[in-house]
Structure 1
Amino acid sequence: MSYIADFEKALEVGRPPNIKALFPNSRALIVSGKVIDRAMLRKGKAMTMAANGRSNLVIRGALLAAQRAQAALIIEIARSEGGASFYCATNYWNMARQVDALCNELAITVPVAIHADHYGIKSAADLPFARTEIPSMFDAGITSIAIDASHMQDDDNLLASLALSSVIPAWAGYETEVGEIKGTAGLSSAPEALFLVQGLNAHDIFPDWIALNNGTTHGLEASDAGIQVGLTADIHSALAKYGVSGAQHGTSGNSSERLREIASQTRTTKANVATALQMISWGVEVNDYGNAILDANGEFIKVAGQGVTEELWAQMKAYAKDKGWSKGNYKSLNAPFENRIMGQPREIRERMARRVSDFVFTMLTEVFNAQGTARHAVDAILEAGSYDLGPKVGRIESPDEWTEEKIRARAATLCTDKGPEGDFSD
């Protein structure tokens, strides 16, 4: 049967309850993150982009690219970017509405998940607020979430995740994390990852993805040290029987060749891309690593006739200078300049989205091996006959062996290096 015919069927059964309630007449196939993960696994040696939607035009460009590649896609924003404290106009409560509107406007027929990335829990004191805020996010159309308590010790990380499990729908995509993303310091280990995944499994929590500190960082990078592919593959191998896929953070600082290795040599199915998309949309020149190229004076190079107008770029630079923001802090320009960006002439907005689209299409088809995965996603929905694909692997561990007392005792036996203290905000 044709893809469009199956797409119509998937629209009927594949949209989660919150999406159907919010957008009852929509033709956007917004799905659980589980669907996206399963599509990549069905194709094999494939991962898709989790495009960080810091602006409306980035989201537009990513959707256009996914449609062209017929690739299942994730649109996401992190808590530091679009939570209660934010530096982006896109947030946890308007992201699904933007995606739905754009999918209908652009006739997008590929499945898209709406992911709340890096929902950071820094201490147990964050839990009461999180229990209220997380349901509000699902009310607003989130279909997948990353509970990131990696800033805490291993036992507290696991216990925080267990404490929040009741406010996350069972059908939703779920990502967990071990090890803060801080470059070559405090690298994650297989025992740490096993501890977290086994403890979750014992309590009927079955992560779709696990994020690791595997050598990369967030934001702009000065070197290509990047992802340690071998370490990642070893940890994924140790977790194999639990069916957990990898979520690769900080891809913007890694070469296309290294990202191809991650797709082909590990169980990674989700690759976060943020900084590169922001810079590309603005018209900044970037290299293969997704890093902005600097001139002899250490300044960003703005490509003439690309991205924002030259006048707006000058305003953005002046604003950053007045705030004393360094190059890595240019991300904070997103919120104050979103409306000015959207108020530019149509041809400027279109060239911004087109530049993002071209980059994302190349990554999906030439690096991530994600082309054609929309078909796999729709097939997974139709085979399940539901928006809820269920866990890949059921409970293996005994809950009696993972009480709080035993969790703390087990954690005390782990030999882990968390790396230096500091602000490693995601």
Structure 2
Amino acid sequence: MAAQYSADFEKALQVGRPPTIKKLFPNSKALIVSGKVVDRAMIAKGKAITMAANGRNYFVIRGVLMAAQRANCPIIIEIAKSEGGQKAYCAVNYWNMARIVDALCNELGITVPVAIHADHYGIKNDKDLKAAMVEIPTMFEAGITSIAIDASHLPDDQNLLANLAINPAIPAWAGLETEVGEIKGNQGLSTVDEAKFLIQGLNARGIFPDWIALNNGTTHGIEASDAGIQVGLTAEIHQALAPYKVNGAQHGTSGNSSERLREIANRTATTKANVATALQMISWGLEVNDYGNAQLDAAGNFIKVAGEGMTEELWAEVVAYAESKGWKKGDYKNLNLPFENKLLAQPTEIRERMAKRVEEFAYKMLTEVLNAADTAPLAIAAIIAAGSHDVGPKGSPIEKAGDWTDEKIVERAKTIASDKGPAGNFDD
């Protein structure tokens, strides 16, 4: 059945696609937009969050796009540096994700706006920063429309200075996320002072992020407990940042209950919720609970649901491969790259049920948990009102640049009392 394109959609398609997207896909009917557009739609509805789905495989991307179309809400498809950078553990990456999304939008007749987000673009040292100045432009040339600069591994002053240094490589029209505090569960929790320091310093230099991500008590990957996101802490920090008009990006959503996610939507300024591990497990056909946390049997093994996801034969091969590598449950994410082509080589009905399972989970989350239903017209309205792919910044100058020179940033950081938590590799 041919897609039905409204007059407003056609108008948004003409003016709302960034120049990089128009160059890549000159004849496309996919409304690929800046992450700013998606954020604005959630704000317009109020107490609404859209899903930022980590497209670790083709089936996740396909299923989430179908869910977004059903829910009539804009969506973010993303991949993190560890998942899709130069040392990726997924076949989907920073440089092919937009092409996959564009092809699927045209095939499926998707008419909701879609942003292509580079998540957790990590900068840990000067070498990373130098490489980023070369690499980030190539990612936008390949169709990225939004980025999260993650220098949260660094001390507060170096985090801010890295964000300032990298900003010239990011198009002004692009969605921008920044981060304070590594995702370490209940250790090294972010504070109001740390978050304000980062946002105030950026504001003083004319940079107005759309989102800030916090270490607010969550983890990446499979949740071992239901301790989860600290909503009160999140609300307190968001309230302190209200004058700067920056919204929240919630990382590590997998494994948190629907009730807690609804509370985040109602009590905080969050407009973006990252979902990665849950969607991967669901596409594979594993048993998950209400909020996407994979369930284990009495022997501590994942439970494959018969007739769901990939074939039982392929799952047995997956498990055998993981065991041959000595991989634990948290390492199963590394199976994405070696098995993507084997998954794509399954019969049509298997591929379709993999995507459908993702669709059903994502649709329920968008409509019943995150309050994102029917926000696509709000995103399109924002594009039409701006008459451009660039809807502009939300924030405006508050801080004085003279108070936030590089030297003063270093001195100011010394006054912040913070606990960064344990050292270690917390990438995902």
Could you report, residue by residue, the CA deviation over 1:160-216 in whole angstroms, capped at 9, with x for unpaired residues?
Answer: 000000000000000000000000000000110000000001111100000000000
Q: Which residue of 2 aligns with 1:331?
A: 333
Matching of residues 266-345 of structure 1 within 5 Å: 266-345=268-347
Q: Please point out which of 71, 74, 90 is paired with 2:73.
A: 71
Could you report, residue by residue, the CA deviation over 1:361-418 in whole angstroms, capped at 9, with x for unpaired residues?
Answer: 0000000000001010000000111100111121111111111110000000000000
Counterparts of 1:5 and 1:304 in 2: how far apart (Å)? 45
Question: Where does structure 1 lack aligned partners over 5 or more consecutive residues?
Answer: none
Is 1:143 the counterpart of 2:145? The answer is yes
Q: Which residue of 1 aligns with 2:365?
A: 363
What one-letter code is carried by the residue in structure 2 that aligns with 1:197? I
Question: How far 1:349 sits from its partner (Å)?
Answer: 0.1
Question: How far 1:289 sits from its partner (Å)?
Answer: 3.0
Q: Which residue of 2 aligns with 1:53?
A: 55
Could you report, residue by residue, the CA deviation over 1:108-134 in whole angstroms, capped at 9, with x for unpaired residues?
Answer: 000000000000011122111100000
Q: Which residue of 2 aligns with 1:185?
A: 187
Q: Please point out which of 246, 249, 252 is paired with 2:251.
A: 249
Whether the 8 Å CA contact 1:3–1:375 is kept in 2: the answer is no
Question: Where does structure 2 lack aligned partners over 5 or more consecutive residues?
Answer: none
Whether the 8 Å CA contact 1:120–1:147 is kept in 2: the answer is yes
Whether the 8 Å CA contact 1:45–1:264 is kept in 2: the answer is yes
Q: Give % identity.
A: 73
Is 1:17 the counterpart of 2:19? The answer is yes
Counterparts of 1:324 and 1:378 in 2: how far apart (Å)? 48
Question: How far 1:221 sits from its partner (Å)?
Answer: 1.0
Counterparts of 2:125 and 2:395 in 1: how far apart (Å)? 30
Q: Which residue of 1 aligns with 2:401?
A: 399
Counterparts of 2:107 and 2:176 in 1: how far apart (Å)? 29
TM-score, normalised relative to structure 1: 0.99
What is the SS of the residue equivalent to 1:163?
A: helix
Q: Which residue of 1 aligns with 2:103?
A: 101
Counterparts of 1:160 and 1:55 in 2: how far apart (Å)? 31
What is the SS of the residue equivalent to 2:236?
A: helix
Counterparts of 1:289 and 1:343 in 2: how far apart (Å)? 29
Counterparts of 2:152 and 2:391 in 1: how far apart (Å)? 27
Whether the 8 Å CA contact 1:185–1:418 is kept in 2: the answer is yes
Matching of residues 82-161 of structure 1 within 5 Å: 82-161=84-163
Q: How many residues align?
A: 425
Could you report, residue by residue, the CA deviation over 1:131-152 in whole angstroms, capped at 9, with x for unpaired residues?
Answer: 0000000000000000000000
Counterparts of 2:358 and 2:302 in 1: how far apart (Å)? 18
Question: How far 1:286 sits from its partner (Å)?
Answer: 0.4
Counterparts of 2:126 and 2:38 in 1: how far apart (Å)? 31
Counterparts of 2:78 and 2:215 in 1: how far apart (Å)? 19
What one-letter code is carried by the residue in structure 2 that aligns with 1:364? L
Q: Please point out which of 230, 236, 239 is paired with 2:238.
A: 236
Question: How far 1:3 sits from its partner (Å)?
Answer: 7.6
Counterparts of 1:358 and 1:106 in 2: how far apart (Å)? 16
RMSD: 0.8
Question: How far 1:271 sits from its partner (Å)?
Answer: 0.1
Q: Which residue of 1 aligns with 2:374?
A: 372
Counterparts of 1:215 and 1:209 in 2: how far apart (Å)? 18
What one-letter code is carried by the residue in structure 2 that aligns with 1:317? V
Counterparts of 2:140 and 2:184 in 1: how far apart (Å)? 29
Whether the 8 Å CA contact 1:147–1:161 is kept in 2: the answer is yes
Q: Which residue of 1 aligns with 2:34?
A: 32
TM-score, normalised relative to structure 2: 0.99
